[in-house]
Amino acid sequence: MLGKRNGVPVSFLFIGKNMEQKHFNKNEILEKLAPLVDNTAMRYGMIPLEVDFSKESGKWFLRIFLYKDSGVTLDDCENVSRSLNPFLDELIPIKYYLEVSSPGLDRKIKSDKEYIIFQGKTINLRLKSFVEGIEEKQFLARIVDFDPEQGLKIQKIDNNQTYIIPKDKIYRAQLHIDDI
């Protein structure tokens, strides 16, 4: 269970206190946030999958997606949010909205570490081009292993055959809802 309640990812929203408009470097802020988010999530037994700081409709959002094997709860999101809050206002010089949530049941896999974290899970896999031995570009597969050099080792659901998919051939990998 990845922390969904009635099909919606569990999340906690907090509005940052800084109100001044200042010039800032988004990448510098993310670099400073990374160790803080990592340590805070680990303290609560979770792994941060993604930290995103982006502007939407004129408002800045800091989104943190967390994972743990037993599922992320609303209390988990609140604990991380409250632990981070005193430090975030020092690091982020503008008004922002903080969203801490689970990745969702059908999360698109976005990083190498997610292939490792979700090992054993079923995914919807879509390829950019054909891979030897596989006759279709879209199918269900189970993640067996991942190596950044060789690629993603999968077991196709329909024939139980194992294949290695080079990373550059993967168009999209997304968790399959029925498996979670």
> Which among 101, 131, 165 is the end of a domain?
101
User: In terms of residues, how long is the chain?
Assistant: 180
Percent with pLDDT over 70 in the chain: 87
Q: What is the reported pLDDT for 4? A: 43
Residue numbers of the domain that contains 168: 112-179
Name the average pLDDT for the chain.
Answer: 87
Q: Which of 97, 121, 96 is nearest to 109 (CA)?
A: 121
pLDDT at 54 over 80: yes
pLDDT confidence bin for 53, thresholds 50/70/90: very high
Q: Which of 131, 112, 110, 130 is nearest to 174 (CA)?
A: 110
Whole-prediction pTM value?
A: 0.78
Q: Do residues 91 and 154 share a domain?
A: no
pLDDT confidence bin for 22, thresholds 50/70/90: low
Asked whether residue 70 is domain-assigned, the answer is: yes
Q: Do residues 10 and 82 share a domain?
A: yes
Q: Do residues 70 and 120 share a domain?
A: no
Q: Do residues 21 and 74 share a domain?
A: yes
CA distances from 174 to 22, 23, 41, 164 (A): 37, 36, 23, 17
Asked whether residue 106 is domain-assigned, the answer is: no
* Total of domains in the chain: 2
Q: Find how far residue 76's CA is from the centre of its chain.
A: 16
Q: Do residues 8 and 49 share a domain?
A: yes
Q: Is the CB of residue 64 less than 8 Å from the CB of residue 80? A: yes
